[in-house]
Amino acid sequence: MTYLPLPEPGQTPLRVLTIAGSDSGGGAGIQADLRTFAMLGVHGLVAVAAVTVQNSVGVSGFHEIPVQVVADQIVAVASDIGLQAAKTGMLASSEIIETVAETARGQGIGTAVPLVVDPVCASMHGDPLLHMSALDALRTKLFPIATLVTPNLDEVRLLVGVDVVDEASQREAAKALHALGPKWVLVKGGHLRSAPHSPDLLFDGAEFHRFDAPRVDTGHDHGAGDTLAAATAAALAHGHSVPEAVEFAKRWITECLRAAYPLGRGHGPVNPMFRLRG
């Protein structure tokens, strides 16, 4: 596949901010974002919103970072280092979501700087990573400033009450999500097991774009959603349009799945380091 370019030696790289949770197992969250950023030629900036206690078999707990600390991290890096794109992941609570939305808006994130919102609600094992009371804050505070939102089908069901079972219901979900205010919506179809391929549907309120990829037969897919959103944000930082960035990220995550490796007793992570093989 064609990669995003790496910076020349001594050149200041493009910068992308991830506002998300830390994964102690290293497979998802901020750790997955930073691996993909590095492999795609951008410097990763970090605002830690939560610390999880997890490994390959599940999440046993999480600790929310105080909201002022979350806000201060965003302002510190945005005001000094600057950034070309941002993404969010696990934000845990309505208070953190509201703080992130307000702080991001004050730094031009979501306007001058594209913002990818991955509305993380639960781990791949079904363990909660977001207080259910925070769903409304996602809908009303963060979605309206998002350049792109990237929910999986479980998150779609929680956010807009649409059970995606085919292309028609996927389109219905995209329209319902777009009505919440983001510029673009990507309804990911990786969990649509009835489809022979993995169909993702992108919508801007007027036009649909469909991205298909062959399913990769692996049980090691931890961090796939984070990696897709991070790759999209990196491509946006490189100046690609939203459809171009999503198309690239779809190819990227497919290769990361093909290169995934076992880890621990459960699900291993997707592997963006495949690029090191050339």
Angle at 91 between CA 45 and CA 122, to 5 degrees: 120
| 2 is a domain residue | no
Report which of residues 54 and 190 the model is more confident about: 54
Give me the pLDDT at residue 198, please.
83
pLDDT of 117 over the 90 cut: yes
- Give per-residue pLDDT as tens, 42-52: 999 999 999 99
Give me the pLDDT at residue 124, please.
66
Confidence of residue 120 (pLDDT cuts 50, 70, 90): very high
- Are 91 and 123 contacting, i.e. CB atoms less than 8 angstroms apart? no
**Structural domain containing residue 111:** 13-274
| 29 is a domain residue | yes
| 8 is a domain residue | no
Give me the pLDDT at residue 125, please.
61
Report residue 208 as tokens: 């649909």
Write down how long the chain is. Answer: 278
| 123 is a domain residue | yes
| 126 is a domain residue | yes
pLDDT of 177 over the 90 cut: yes
User: Which residue type is seen at 158?
Assistant: L
Give me the pLDDT at residue 127, please.
65
For the chain, what percent of residues have pLDDT higher than 90? 88
pLDDT of 190 over the 80 cut: no
| 195 is a domain residue | yes
- Determine how many CB atoms are found less than 10 A away from the CB of residue 6: 14
Report residue 16 as tokens: 């992308």
- Give per-residue pLDDT as tens, 65-114: 999 999 999 999 999 999 999 999 999 999 999 999 999 999 999 999 99
Q: What is the CA radius of gyration of the chain?
A: 17
Confidence of residue 53 (pLDDT cuts 50, 70, 90): very high
pLDDT of 162 over the 80 cut: yes
Residue 36 has, within 13 A of its CA and on its CB side, a CA count of 35
| 6 is a domain residue | no
Burial of 14 (0-12, 13-18, 19+ CB in 10 A): buried
Q: Global pTM? A: 0.96
Residue 104: partners with Cβ closer than 8 Å, 6 or more residues away: 19, 74, 86, 110, 115, 145
**Number of separate domains in the chain:** 1
Confidence of residue 194 (pLDDT cuts 50, 70, 90): low
CATH of the domain at 224: 3.40.1190.20
Give me the pLDDT at residue 132, please.
78
